[in-house]
Amino acid sequence: MTEREPLDLGATELPAEEEARLRRDHDLDRPEVFDRRNGVDERAGTRATLLPEERSAGSADPEAQAREVLRDSDVRTEIPESAPDTAFERRDSDD
Query: How many other C-beta atoms lie within 10 A of the C-beta of residue 3?
Result: 8
Average pLDDT of every residue of the chain: 84
Q: What is the pLDDT of residue 43?
A: 93
Instruction: Report the amino acid identity of residue 61.
Output: D
Would you give the distance in Å from CA 77 to the centre of its chain? 8
* pLDDT tens, residue by residue, 19-49: 999 999 999 999 999 999 999 999 998 888 8
Residue whose C-alpha is closest to residue 6's, from 83, 76, 24: 24
Alpha helix ranges (H) inside 1-95? 16-25, 31-38, 40-47, 52-57, 62-78
Size (the chain), residues: 95
Instruction: Report the amino acid identity of residue 51.
Output: L
pLDDT over threshold 90, residue 92: no
* pLDDT tens, residue by residue, 33-90: 999 999 999 999 888 887 788 788 888 888 888 899 899 999 989 998 887 665 555 5
